[in-house]
Structure 1
Amino acid sequence: MRILHAALPHDWERAAADGSYDVSTRGTSIVEADFVHASTAEQLPGVLQRFYADVPAVDVLVLDVDRLEHEGASVLWETPHDVTDGPYPHVYGVVPVQAVVEVVRVEHEPGEPWTLPDVEALRPQAT
């Protein structure tokens, strides 16, 4: 199975060089939040609109759940108290770059709605 994580490009560039990704969500580390926020393809547009409307680009990290678990992270499906489109996948543990099977750069004009490409990687897949 694959899940998605929206990353600021500079955060992903640093992680790709370091070998692991430790940002929970925009401006928050895994140390502060205890997990890395993720989503399904269906949940991604709402995530981008709620948290990234003012940025010109995000890198959508496509995460392979089996690889995450093989590397020692666990994925739990949880519904935050203020969300109606849950549950969301939460990754407990840093994300090793080996678990990122694809990175899709998505750009838009800040303040405008996001338009996601019809990319195979963004569709749910079983492994």
Structure 2
Amino acid sequence: MSTGNTAAAAGRRVLIDADGVVTELNDKAFEAAMNAAMGVMGRHRMITTGQAAKLMNCSPRTVARILDSGRLPFTRSGGTGRRMVDVVDIMEYQRQERARMRESLDAMRRAAREITMNDDEMAAYVAQFD
């Protein structure tokens, strides 16, 4: 684990304290932090699609499209009829999406090798997707 950075690279698992100090976490530490956070919040914390969008760093419309596609479960609030999403489901969806993207990138890398790109050409090609 490293500490003291003031910015986090995309795809990294980090904690950011109140002073903006970033601490990078290994997989074990990240899972422990997530378990602790879920324990504090309760195992099932329902949030709105707007809150989900902030958590997922995307637009509320993108969240709506994901819900409409059935890739992320939701319930409707009894009083308002608003769609509510479980934080645990969001975390699992994001984990699955990262795995899917890694698999796609690996397939692109294999395809680039199969068409015998030289190292410089392959690096430029793969860099588009990293």
Larger Rg: 2
- Which interval holds the TM-score relative to the shorter structure? under 0.3
Higher RCO (C-alpha 8 Å, min separation 6): 1
Higher helix share: 2
Higher strand share: 1
With normalisation by structure 1, the TM-score equals 0.26
